[in-house]
Amino acid sequence: MPRHDQPDHGLDRPASSRIYDFSLGGKDNYSKDRDVAMQAFERLAAARLLPRENRKFMRRAVRHLLDAGVRQFLDIGCGLPGRGNVHEVVHGADPSASVVYVDHDPVAVVHYRALLHAVPNATVLHADARDPGAILDHPDVARLIDFDRPVGVLMISMLDLIPDEDDPHAVVRAFRDRMAPGSHLAVCDFLDENLSEEERAIADELVRQNGVVVTLRPREAIAGYFEGLDLVEPGLVYAPEWRPDRPFDPPSGWLLAGVGVKP
């Protein structure tokens, strides 16, 4: 896979965060983003399911972390805001809880800054997950996140944007190492085992044409993100099957999700 979107995110080419926004019915996207999304919708049956599977898992995971007593959250690769953002779910349970969003897309950061201007215990940071130290040691993170207490780290459909040569496992490890006991890591990522040869060829073609990367990985690689953590029930499963709170359509089989707790 080629490298994922570069940090400048010019509006003359598509960006993964804006494609995702359009796929969820958002308005913060441009014609290039809509074109890519429509190509995927037309050629891949699973494409319409994935954003909703991903978003619904995120909300269920956040609610689980709240039930476990977590009151500070770090959302890495947050994308553009939509309905039911992390801070809205969190503050619906505890208005005093802290939330830090992180994204390397300046468009997403601008939108979150506008949304959070009157929310004192939530902020957004413009940074790249491939440089964990810049995030973990940032003054805005230090102001809201106490790594001596349990923290919820969310990596929801973000690690697929980090190519193997940039070592996504090292990125996750940097955050895991900083987490205190009782902290949780929530991951939802793209799985490579269920694609047909035709689907794989179409996905590769869309990547080549548009330069927006979705890196599908084997189950073992995704499980490796939870090294040193205890997976909570039901373990690593298709996203809709992770603690469903209502009936759901058959899973696409493209997204694997899990939550681990640091002992």
pLDDT digits (tens, 9 = 90+) for 47-91: 888 889 999 999 999 999 999 999 999 999 999 898 899 999 999
Q: Give the pLDDT of residue 11.
A: 56
User: pLDDT tens digit string along 81-132?
Assistant: 988 999 999 999 999 999 999 999 898 999 999 999 999 999 999 999 999 9
53-195+221-261: CATH number = 3.40.50.150
Quote the distance between the C-alpha of residue 200 and its chain's center. Answer: 22
Which of the two residues, 108 and 203, has the higher pLDDT score? 108
Cβ atoms 14, 32 nearer than 8 A: yes
Q: Tell me the DSSP string of the chain.
A: ------TT--TTS--HHHHHHHHTT-S---HHHHHHHHHHHHH-TTTTTHHHHHHHHHHHHHHHHHHTT--EEEEET--S--SS-HHHHHHHH-TT-EEEEEES-HHHHHHHHHHHTT-TTEEEEE--TT-HHHHHT-HHHHHH--TTS--EEEEES-GGGS-GGG-HHHHHHHHHHHPPTT-EEEEEEEB-TT--HHHHHHHHHHHHHH------B-HHHHHGGGTTSEEPTT-SEEGGGSS-SS--PPP-SSEEEEEEE--
Q: Which of 86, 100, 91, 111 is nearest to 137 (CA)?
A: 100
Sequence spans of domains, the chain: 53-195+221-261
Q: Which pLDDT belongs to residue 107?
A: 87
| pLDDT the model gives residue 2 | 32
> What's the token pair of residue 14?
């598509």
